[in-house]
Chains A and B, each alone.
Chain A
């Protein structure tokens, strides 16, 4: 504590000394003997110097003063342990003027005493009375009365009050009375509790008063009313007409002109509504939209936009009819493909196509609208969500309701409603049977089981309606949680489709229809949809990996996975260079074609299905899929009679020798002849019916035909690849040298020849390869490196951090030097002090010794004098 105090003093002392110093400074500065100028040898432009003029005398005296105030004090008190503490308020604070200081000190003192007085002063509780009543109570009463008549009776005190206040009482009371009420309140500070109590009572009082006023007013009005009623009946009986007339008089018939003006004023301003677009325009817009999307797709296909623009795709709602679509007119032509070539010439055709599509879309939209109308009419609960979908006539009705002028509009409304309901009824009749049991609102099912039970036993149409309604009732714009719910719905639907596909008799027709709501949901929630499909893919791939690890080989998955893969191609653009869902799907399919054993006819069909998938996936991007060619080659291989393969090699999962060869071989002449190309039913995949040999053979031949067709398509697709011939070489060898063409039926020969033709008449196109030239490494240069000097005196170069570091080091150095200098000066000062002390002490001693010697010599002298005297005497 003592040290801290000391330090404080150290700091505070120089500040007190500042005032006089400042005044002295001016004088000193003008004195040329005090000023020392550091003369510079050269004048350097732009250099700022701080220390060219100095006042050595001043600074020295300052330093000495400071030391005497701090160091010297410490030195003098070095052996003292007790410390003097000055606790006077503001003793060393120069900012406060002495008067103020005194006042503050005085208040402090008062404050200190105030609490203590309250504690020990017992007389305070004594109750003072006046006429036997408690004075405090009287005061309160007064207060109430006072607050009552706050505004009116201010200043004019009632006699009673004056009597109470000025009438009598001891000295204390009188004093109060003389100073008036407000003063009194101020003078005698009430305790907090009292104040609050007072406030409460005041507010209560006010309230009560207001209430009574209101009540009385009410009473009065009631009374008035009653009176009026009495009178009114009299009037009504006697002169009803006159009364009417009176009224008319009171309300004169509005002027016609006014009415028109007002009507016009109220009438809805004719907004420049968007005119209905013509078919052509719509088609154009649609085309433009498709163009943009196509351009987008192409960009992604080439993998150009990976980092370039990560902007989110504009969300296209499932219900969007693209009316509000605004797109800058794009003059680019629509890129389209026909037979693998960019199609430029037949634009018109394309347009027509677009129109067709548009029409279809429109029809769909119309139907949608119809549905909405029905459901809206019939269920009130759905009203809210249709507001978004808005019928224009209804809307105008709502507005017309707000106006109260025209009654005929009311009629209009009825009419429209009737019309609507009529048309609705018509529509309704058609689907009445189907709908009679369906509720109109559905909650989104929480679990897959509830979802399944919801759809169980319904027809396809009903299922679709249910799904549609679920979507509408739980549109994400309606409630916060709906988004998550509907996202779940996508997963359920997917699972449901998978289940349908794994049934013994796969309900593919149902799946075919269910794809539509799936697509819509996917458009609404791309992330969730991609996640759930990815999840399915991961599961499937994981299962396969496990199988391979355990058994060493895998089998092709069931129909559900094939359907999922197909659905993936419907929901997502498969031509993208990299796509979060499609790329894994590609790899999964690749694994299927390379790792799974082909042991049965079903396996072959599944494999061919996957080949088709591959072809579809890459149909636009024309990406190269080695697995596809390998597999087709293998399929052809197993259609041949057993013999050593020559000129081509089949790779896993097919083997040149061993089991499962001749899986597609058909030898029966009759079957060969009776064969007709048939479309393979997908249900074969799950179970091969107990079919006759002939049918089996026919299926085999169909597979072979499919294979030929796929080869043809591959050839068309990969035509442009530089090593097309190398890729197709094994297939060509097999087709030309090994396939027993002549044994095939005519139809098959057609397939065969078309495939072969596609393979053969392709020109070898080898564009020369040119690799980018390496950039030459620049030679080392020996010219000096020239660096601009931007600031003199400051170290150049280095990063900001390094510069900072350098600065810090420099500052540290400077501080260190300063500190050392200070310490040295301190020591000098102390030494000087000590020396002066010693000198002082010595001189004092000398003086004392001198004195003593002086007195002694005087004594001696006296004594000698006495002796001499005595001798004389």
Chain B
């Protein structure tokens, strides 16, 4: 109770202080009390002071009691000749500067509450400064966004050794405003070089949150004060263009740096839906994507998506694309997390009916060969996939019908699809899968024995199939009757020729 009373008293004192400073210039020196509290150790005090500062300087900004224009040094200003009014304003401006510095420091504080408070206060300052600019208007006219303040905020968001993800998600709210986003992008681009040395992860997080939707938020400029409207002079087209340019620059400067594998994957995962669409010239990503595609493994799989967009929408010509794709097929594709995405794209790439038969046959043969190591959920997807390929390319049907075929001539190790002799082989793998333990897989594999229907199977539901779903479906089936083992049990390992009895004991 005492603590509570103490905090109450402190709050009252701080409020009193704010009142005094706002009330008469004579008691302006009490600002120092606030600033002291702001820099203090106590969390409660700091929070209280931050709030008070926000109120105080907000009011002062609105009243215009802070010196606008370039700020002289404090001593010079005080010593210099000028009206008392000017001196007071300059002095107050210095206090304001100190306050901002204090808040920036708070953004690196341990507790999230304080960080958030500091962030909000700073953003409020940004908003008010845009309305009541402290910097002299630039020659173009209305471009008076308080970049310095925003820079402070961005620096605070990209701490050296902390996880600022929570703060960033809080900041997301502000990113909805076009101008804020624009200047944040600019600020980030500026500071990427320093930041990248240490905190790549966070940067990515922040970058990932930056997206552009000019069309949706035209009101922001108005909301952000009539005077500070950045975009008034620009048409929405140009505005978007500028925005995209900044965005592009930011990403390119980010990707210039060497990325660790994990980060690589993360970038690639968001590439197709949150980077490429917002670039002026997505082709600038070609280099990055081709390098990624060449790395191999999961990274290649992921790069495929971005590449596809470039090929599909931006006329990228990629030599030996199918060869590369073919070489991507290794046993792990059925086990990786991005299986659905990969096969979705592969399906797209192989959907053209103009592909040569040898190529498709090579794909079919390789996929089915690899299916010999695949889990059932992947098998349930890949068998209809292969059936679809057969439907699209009837020339490949020799793979399932070769009455007098020799032994398997297919060369698994061959990198060139054309050299793999897949078209001379047969699909014994699928025949093997007819003996799979999972009844659905066995049934699906049995389809190849019969003639295929004309209509392609729908893969969309199968791509995302997970083992657990499969299990769940099976367990929830209502059984009509349950066949029982007829052999009488003779203990846990009591069966005839029990494998367990050979290798385990019941101790």
Partner-B contacts on A (CB < 8 A) = 290, 293, 296-297, 300, 303, 310, 312-313, 316, 357, 361, 508-509, 511-513, 515-516, 518-519, 522-523, 526-527, 529-530, 534, 537-538, 541, 544-545, 563, 566-567, 570-573, 576-581, 583-584, 586-588, 590-591, 594-595, 608-609, 612, 615-619, 621-627, 629-630, 649, 651-652, 679-683, 702, 706, 709-710, 713, 721-723, 726-727, 764, 766, 768-775
Q: Determine if B461 is an interface residue (Cβ-Cβ < 8 Å).
A: no
By a CB distance below 8 angstroms, the chain A residues around B372 are: 626, 723, 726-727
By a CB distance below 8 angstroms, the chain B residues around A619 are: 499
Q: Determine if B498 is an interface residue (Cβ-Cβ < 8 Å).
A: yes
Residue of B nearest to A572 (CB): B485
Q: A512-B491, A629-B373 are in contact. Are A591 and B485 (CB under 8 A)?
A: no
The distance from the CB of A582 to the nearest CB of chain B, in whole angstroms, is 9
Q: Could you tell me which residues of chain B, from 334 to 386, have a CB within 8 Å of some CB in chain A? A: 334-335, 369, 372-376
CB pair B491 A616 closer than 8 Å: no
CB pair A590 B467 closer than 8 Å: yes
Docked CA distance A651–B336 (Å): 9
Q: Determine if B420 is an interface residue (Cβ-Cβ < 8 Å).
A: no
- Further pairs besides A515-B494, A626-B374, A651-B331: 17, Cβ < 8 Å: A297-B483, A512-B494, A513-B491, A516-B491, A529-B482, A570-B485, A577-B439, A579-B483, A583-B439, A583-B474, A590-B467, A591-B471, A616-B495, A618-B437, A624-B435, A681-B505, A766-B428
Docked CA distance A770–B479 (Å): 35
Of B369, B374, B470, B503, the contact of A587 (CB 8 Å cutoff)? B470
By a CB distance below 8 angstroms, the chain B residues around A774 are: 451
Docked CA distance A583–B468 (Å): 13
26 A-B pairs whose Cβ atoms sit less than 8 Å apart in the complex: A312-B481, A512-B492, A515-B489, A522-B484, A526-B482, A541-B471, A567-B492, A578-B439, A587-B471, A587-B474, A612-B504, A623-B435, A623-B437, A630-B373, A680-B504, A681-B507, A709-B503, A722-B428, A723-B431, A768-B402, A768-B426, A769-B400, A769-B405, A769-B426, A772-B449, A772-B450
Q: Determine if B260 is an interface residue (Cβ-Cβ < 8 Å).
A: no
Name the 8 nearest CB pairs between A and B, nearest first.
A580-B479, A681-B507, A623-B437, A774-B451, A508-B506, A722-B428, A519-B489, A526-B482
Residue of A nearest to B451 (CB): A774
By a CB distance below 8 angstroms, the chain A residues around B2 are: none
Docked CA distance A571–B488 (Å): 9
Q: A580-B477, A612-B499, A630-B373 are in contact. Are A515 and B491 (CB under 8 A)?
A: yes
The distance from the CB of B422 to the nearest CB of chain A, in whole angstroms, is 14
By a CB distance below 8 angstroms, the chain A residues around B500 are: 566, 609, 612, 616
CB pair A651 B335 closer than 8 Å: yes
Residue of B nearest to A548 (CB): B468
CB pair B475 A584 closer than 8 Å: yes
CB pair B468 A541 closer than 8 Å: yes
The distance from the CB of B31 to the nearest CB of chain A, in whole angstroms, is 50
The distance from the CB of B481 to the nearest CB of chain A, in whole angstroms, is 6
CB pair A361 B507 closer than 8 Å: no
Of A313, A519, A586, the contact of B437 (CB 8 Å cutoff)? A586
Docked CA distance A627–B429 (Å): 15
Of B433, B488, B498, the contact of A616 (CB 8 Å cutoff)? B498
By a CB distance below 8 angstroms, the chain B residues around A681 are: 504-507
Docked CA distance A361–B426 (Å): 51
The distance from the CB of B443 to the nearest CB of chain A, in whole angstroms, is 8
Contact with A along B438-473 (1 / 0, CB 8 A): 110010000011110000000000000001101110
CB pair A615 B437 closer than 8 Å: no
The distance from the CB of B188 to the nearest CB of chain A, in whole angstroms, is 30
Docked CA distance A522–B428 (Å): 40
Q: Determine if B330 is an interface residue (Cβ-Cβ < 8 Å).
A: yes
Q: A579-B483, A616-B499, A649-B332 are in contact. Are A545 and B468 (CB under 8 A)?
A: yes
Q: Could you tell me which residues of chain B, from 415 to 433, have a CB within 8 Å of some CB in chain A? A: 426-429, 431-433
By a CB distance below 8 angstroms, the chain B residues around A316 are: 484, 486
Docked CA distance A580–B478 (Å): 8
The distance from the CB of A159 to the nearest CB of chain B, in whole angstroms, is 89
Q: A512-B491, A512-B492 are in contact. Are A571 and B427 (CB under 8 A)?
A: no
Q: Could you tell me which residues of chain B, from 123 to 142, have a CB within 8 Å of some CB in chain A? A: none
Q: Determine if B5 is an interface residue (Cβ-Cβ < 8 Å).
A: no
Of A594, A710, A721, the contact of B467 (CB 8 Å cutoff)? A594
By a CB distance below 8 angstroms, the chain A residues around B483 are: 296-297, 300, 313, 526, 572-573, 576, 579
The distance from the CB of B208 to the nearest CB of chain A, in whole angstroms, is 20
Of A544, A587, A617, A702, the contact of B376 (CB 8 Å cutoff)? A587
CB pair A771 B375 closer than 8 Å: no
Residue of A nearest to B435 (CB): A624
The distance from the CB of B447 to the nearest CB of chain A, in whole angstroms, is 10
Q: A572-B482, A572-B483, A723-B372 are in contact. Are A771 and B474 (CB under 8 A)?
A: no
By a CB distance below 8 angstroms, the chain A residues around B475 are: 534, 537-538, 541, 584
By a CB distance below 8 angstroms, the chain A residues around B494 are: 512, 515
CB pair A721 B435 closer than 8 Å: yes
Q: Determine if B229 is an interface residue (Cβ-Cβ < 8 Å).
A: no
CB pair A624 B332 closer than 8 Å: no
Q: Is the interface of B mostly helix, strand, loop or mixed?
A: loop
By a CB distance below 8 angstroms, the chain A residues around B402 are: 768-770
Q: Is the interface of A mostly helix, strand, loop or mixed?
A: helix
User: Most chain-A CB neighbours within 10 Å: which of B332, B438, B503?
Assistant: B503
Q: Determine if B273 is an interface residue (Cβ-Cβ < 8 Å).
A: no
By a CB distance below 8 angstroms, the chain B residues around A563 are: 492
By a CB distance below 8 angstroms, the chain B residues around A722 are: 428, 431-432
Docked CA distance A109–B70 (Å): 125
CB pair A584 B471 closer than 8 Å: yes
Q: Determine if B110 is an interface residue (Cβ-Cβ < 8 Å).
A: no
CB pair B492 A511 closer than 8 Å: yes
Q: A584-B471, A629-B373 are in contact. Are A649 and B427 (CB under 8 A)?
A: no
Q: Determine if B209 is an interface residue (Cβ-Cβ < 8 Å).
A: no
Residue of B nearest to A683 (CB): B507
User: Most chain-B CB neighbours within 10 Å: which of A567, A608, A768, A769?
Assistant: A769
Of B375, B400, B477, the contact of A590 (CB 8 Å cutoff)? B375
CB pair A573 B484 closer than 8 Å: yes
CB pair B479 A530 closer than 8 Å: yes
Q: Determine if B1 is an interface residue (Cβ-Cβ < 8 Å).
A: no
Residue of B nearest to A623 (CB): B437
Q: Determine if B407 is an interface residue (Cβ-Cβ < 8 Å).
A: yes
CB pair A624 B491 closer than 8 Å: no
CB pair A527 B439 closer than 8 Å: no
CB pair B506 A771 closer than 8 Å: no
Q: A303-B439, A774-B451 are in contact. Are A766 and B405 (CB under 8 A)?
A: yes
The distance from the CB of A513 to the nearest CB of chain B, in whole angstroms, is 7
By a CB distance below 8 angstroms, the chain B residues around A623 are: 435-437, 442
CB pair A649 B503 closer than 8 Å: no
CB pair A713 B405 closer than 8 Å: no
Of B397, B429, B482, B504, the contact of A581 (CB 8 Å cutoff)? B482
By a CB distance below 8 angstroms, the chain B residues around A534 are: 475
CB pair A591 B408 closer than 8 Å: no
Q: Determine if B80 is an interface residue (Cβ-Cβ < 8 Å).
A: no
The distance from the CB of B127 to the nearest CB of chain A, in whole angstroms, is 40
Q: Determine if B216 is an interface residue (Cβ-Cβ < 8 Å).
A: no
Q: A629-B373, A764-B407 are in contact. Are A721 and B432 (CB under 8 A)?
A: yes
Q: A526-B482, A764-B407, A766-B426 are in contact. Are A682 and B450 (CB under 8 A)?
A: no
By a CB distance below 8 angstroms, the chain B residues around A516 are: 489-491
Q: Determine if B235 is an interface residue (Cβ-Cβ < 8 Å).
A: no
By a CB distance below 8 angstroms, the chain A residues around B482 are: 526-527, 529-530, 572, 579-581
Q: Could you tell me which residues of chain B, from 314 to 337, have a CB within 8 Å of some CB in chain A? A: 330-332, 334-335
Q: Determine if B502 is an interface residue (Cβ-Cβ < 8 Å).
A: yes
Residue of B nearest to A292 (CB): B486
Docked CA distance A545–B472 (Å): 11
CB pair A713 B489 closer than 8 Å: no
CB pair B504 A679 closer than 8 Å: yes
CB pair B376 A590 closer than 8 Å: yes
Residue of A nearest to B471 (CB): A587
